[in-house]
Structure 1
């Protein structure tokens, strides 16, 4: 099924009289009525963080597994319960202001696009989409409908990351030529696809969990609830999980767009799971904060990162478990992930950060690092933006480009050690065989 057909059907299914977003914003609502699609681990965290805003009223909860719904419904006794997001949107469209999508990656775009067609403000977990074509479509639709949107990259609103952005843009290490980023997490699977099937748990609607993705028999412990990130049909691997968080600050600080070339050093593809270890090298066009071009190297898997002089720390210290290193003309800036301040390295030694000018300009205040507070900032920013009191810092116009960059690296994993050339204007690879993975047909379900 073509995505255009899916959206047309979804719009017909939800044939309601929807107030245009511009008119909605003029209403100056004091309460934001939210519907939450996906209530697993991250979905539950999203729900609790958004509901902690005093202006939020949770009116609907949806998950394909009743176990997930059962864990949260008591806290929201007035919320209606659903298994199918299409039923939720059809029946409650007039009673919802914003929709929160916290499903596995493959359902981000189908659920979000249906809600956006209805004029709903959207908070969607990262990565924004499962396919490059979906990322561009979501950004285009959000702009057309003039919607408030936010991608769930909570650390985008944390002090440490905003400080690193300001430091890089102040020229603390000069123009940046290289970024090296890493995570030792392993959201890969080097095993062949499983055979046979297992009974589907009574709590789970397997057809709805699969959604628009290809039909596949249920296997206990293989996909739901925890391992779908490892599988090509549903997730985006470690790069699509931790990569979005760790890429975000350098990507934002250096004002990057999408890359020109991408190469992934990994094992040969199996057609089922993502490689367990990846080294992805991107080349980006230059920006005012970089050299004429920027090299970006991403490492993931249990042995990440590989040893390199760019990553050597003073005093023989070990690298943080996850993070990014900016390499510039005048030194290096280390940004651990997460809840650690950036560290300036010049001539092989740590230098104390001088924040005098940043504080004097009002760009940044005193050091503020409290996870209980900062963890909610990104969510509350979305709520306030929906109420006309703020603006989102990770709208789909930004999130779609970041996600596209991530997904191009994921696609490169299907062509080990082959450099792929990306044309931003046409949204196509020079290598025709790679274009087959920019999109996928939607299954009728």
Structure 2
């Protein structure tokens, strides 16, 4: 059979699956909660509904299933091309295009929801599931704006559901090793962090296309836009290039920050930053003028965040974020041919007695100079997650089966929420401000020359009000704003 034919919707097949699934419900997709509060099903399996099941969503639900303790009961995606592999992998799962319809019609038939959509629809889908009492796994970053992240953090406690963000490096051994080294006082008091990435690997700093191609018939463009303002479809935005547009994505910080800054958050117990400043790269608008396109993330940035003292530090901690290939100065303790981070990405801890670094996801932790790692022995203090980053999925499944508060997860929303907020606060400095024209007719962003001061309780910048419009966005008509 040709691939095109395999991916075509088949009404007869779906009718058969629907009928077969109903007949098999007693042993296949009966959710655990219908058997009574606290009852452990004989199969002890979690029934998961996937929202966004192509790409990363495809691998997410495959990993839940691979845990051996989850059934994939329902699939939802606005693009049947992207969903095809998951539909073929889980032929008994009922398919929907609109997650709202799936939750409305099927919420009694599953226990948990995985959300792996573009950033701008993470929060609204996750909160709707949580309000139905469903455990949720949400891809990183947790949300598109700060208000959404705060709401999800509070919702996890209010609705008493098991949560996990998809920064799977939080379950790696590396983070735990770095915590043990720090607590053994191997590098002293950590006061400065550098994290860097070679991303974006998608277009940024560009104007929105004026072309108006036809929307692929397999894609429901209006549903894909969801909460975002309506715009005409452009080629290649789906499935990946949306990351570089503020209406949908959160740039390199949203994509990689949750992987590279999770280790400092975990090691130092960082939470909410108190100020932020930045510099950004520009592009040539034409041969005589450099500038920015406010709808699109810039091609590179360097952001500096200040975090207040924690129980793991003696004072404030300065965190530097660099993207677009910008890297910090190589530590003097690192040999001239020794790899800095993993080459394109990394995290560096600077303490009063020494330095340590790791790769993406907290992998490959090592002290500097590298000779210090020879015959290094530090007692294990923190339990490891079985399977490391792959175990991140099974950890959530098992915690959801056990019930709220019964088992530990590596990136529950009480951890993932503040981490995401810090990244999104950094994006306030990157993204900006109302563009104004100077006397030469150049576009300038006046707030980029300021240190923005953050009032965490009020969730606002106190010294440059223009940027607060991005703390909480208004959803498009027809999409209800988040409320607990």
TM over 0.5: yes
Please state how far the C-alpha of 1:317 moved relative to its aligned partner.
2.3
Contact between 1:121 and 1:386, CA under 8 Å: does it hold in 2? Answer: yes
| Larger-Rg structure | 2
Contact between 1:188 and 1:238, CA under 8 Å: does it hold in 2? Answer: no
Alignment partner of 1:408 is 2:416: no
Match of 1:275 in 2: 298
Match of 1:7 in 2: none
Match of 1:290 in 2: 313
Match of 2:162 in 1: 148
Contact between 2:274 and 2:307, CA under 8 Å: does it hold in 1? Answer: yes
Aligned counterpart for 1:334 among listed residues 347, 357, 366? 357
Residues 293 and 82 (structure 1), Cα distance of their counterparts in 2 relative to 1, 3 Å cut: same
Alignment partner of 1:350 is 2:401: no
> Unaligned stretches of 5+ in structure 2?
1-30, 283-290, 433-446, 479-484
Match of 2:129 in 1: 115
Match of 1:26 in 2: 38
Instruction: Say which SS state the counterpart of residue 198 (structure 1) adopts.
Output: coil
- The 2-side partners of 1:96 and 1:258 are apart by 34
Contact between 2:199 and 2:252, CA under 8 Å: does it hold in 1? Answer: yes
- The 2-side partners of 1:25 and 1:172 are apart by 47
Aligned counterpart for 2:398 among listed residues 384, 388, 395? 384
CA deviation map 1:243-268 (0-9, x unaligned): 11000011111011111110111146
Please state how far the C-alpha of 1:355 moved relative to its aligned partner.
5.5
* 1:120-135 equivalences in 2 (<5 Å): 120-135=134-149
- The 2-side partners of 1:311 and 1:97 are apart by 52
Residues 21 and 410 (structure 1), Cα distance of their counterparts in 2 relative to 1, 3 Å cut: farther
Contact between 2:168 and 2:361, CA under 8 Å: does it hold in 1? Answer: no
Match of 1:217 in 2: 232
- The 1-side partners of 2:33 and 2:196 are apart by 40
Contact between 2:172 and 2:361, CA under 8 Å: does it hold in 1? Answer: no
Contact between 1:121 and 1:148, CA under 8 Å: does it hold in 2? Answer: yes
Match of 2:264 in 1: 250
Aligned counterpart for 1:418 among listed residues 445, 450, 463? 450
Please state how far the C-alpha of 1:168 moved relative to its aligned partner.
1.9
- The 2-side partners of 1:123 and 1:338 are apart by 18
Match of 1:436 in 2: 469
Please state how far the C-alpha of 1:163 moved relative to its aligned partner.
1.3
Contact between 2:33 and 2:111, CA under 8 Å: does it hold in 1? Answer: no
Contact between 1:176 and 1:326, CA under 8 Å: does it hold in 2? Answer: yes
- The 2-side partners of 1:23 and 1:288 are apart by 43
Please state how far the C-alpha of 1:40 moved relative to its aligned partner.
2.1
Alignment partner of 1:179 is 2:193: yes
Match of 1:314 in 2: 335
Please state how far the C-alpha of 1:338 moved relative to its aligned partner.
4.9
Please state how far the C-alpha of 1:444 moved relative to its aligned partner.
3.0
Alignment partner of 1:239 is 2:253: yes
Please state how far the C-alpha of 1:53 moved relative to its aligned partner.
1.7
CA deviation map 1:20-69 (0-9, x unaligned): 98996612341211000001211011011011122211110000000122
After TM superposition, the structure 1 stretch with the greater mean CA deviation from structure 2, 60-69 or 190-199, is 190-199
Residues 396 and 340 (structure 1), Cα distance of their counterparts in 2 relative to 1, 3 Å cut: closer
Match of 1:71 in 2: 85
- The 2-side partners of 1:20 and 1:442 are apart by 34
Cα RMSD between the aligned structures?
Answer: 2.3
- The 1-side partners of 2:182 and 2:203 are apart by 32
Residues 354 and 168 (structure 1), Cα distance of their counterparts in 2 relative to 1, 3 Å cut: farther
TM-score for both structures, normalised by structure 2: 0.81
Contact between 1:311 and 1:325, CA under 8 Å: does it hold in 2? Answer: no
Contact between 1:343 and 1:350, CA under 8 Å: does it hold in 2? Answer: no
Please state how far the C-alpha of 1:94 moved relative to its aligned partner.
0.2
